[in-house]
């Protein structure tokens, strides 16, 4: 049911924890399944993500997508991080079962929420970034998986 990569990121998650005085923090959830994901970003003066951590309350797929998403944005600019999609996270994990696709949406939205928080704190606009949803289940059916 789950790929080896999903199992690896679930059993050995990368970047777990919090960043004190984070540049940006994004929290999103899914009211339907109860998953909650929080992403912490440490962004330097050149808008490069130097460190990223996560805390996730949810199923194994939610932990795995959080872990993979943090790996995908670490070392990237905020603009590059904005381009990490739920589809890219799923592909990096060699796929997810259809009933777990919403976990990758949580990861994408949590990154966007953390970037939004960073932009708000620094009074900047990140091109292409819109205000994130705090509950992805509201618009889940509309999403293009």
Sequence-ordered list of residues with C-beta below 8 angstroms from that of 46, at least 6 positions apart, any chain: 77
Write phi, then psi, for 135 (nearest 5 degrees): -130, 110
Write phi, then psi, for 48 (nearest 5 degrees): -105, 135
Catalytic positions: 33, 103
Instruction: Give residue for tokens 């951590």.
Output: 53
In this structure, what DSSP letter does residue 140 have? G
């Amino acid at each position: 049911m789950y790929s080896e990569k999903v199992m690896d990121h679930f059993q050995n998650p990368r970047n777990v924890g919090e960043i004190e005085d984070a540049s940006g923090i994004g929290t999103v959830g899914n009211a339907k399944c109860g998953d909650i994901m929080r992403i912490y970003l440490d962004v330097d003066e050149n808008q490069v993500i130097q460190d990223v951590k996560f805390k996730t309350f949810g199923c194994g797929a939610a932990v795995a997508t959080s872990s993979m998403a943090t790996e995908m944005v670490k070392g990237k600019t905020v603009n590059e991080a904005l381009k990490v999609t739920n589809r890219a996270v799923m592909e990096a994990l060699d796929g997810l079962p259809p009933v777990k696709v919403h976990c990758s949406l949580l990861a994408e939205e949590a990154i966007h929420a953390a970037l939004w928080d960073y932009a708000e704190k620094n009074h900047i606009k990140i091109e292409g970034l819109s205000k994130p949803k705090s509950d992805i289940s509201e618009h889940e059916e509309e999403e293009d998986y």
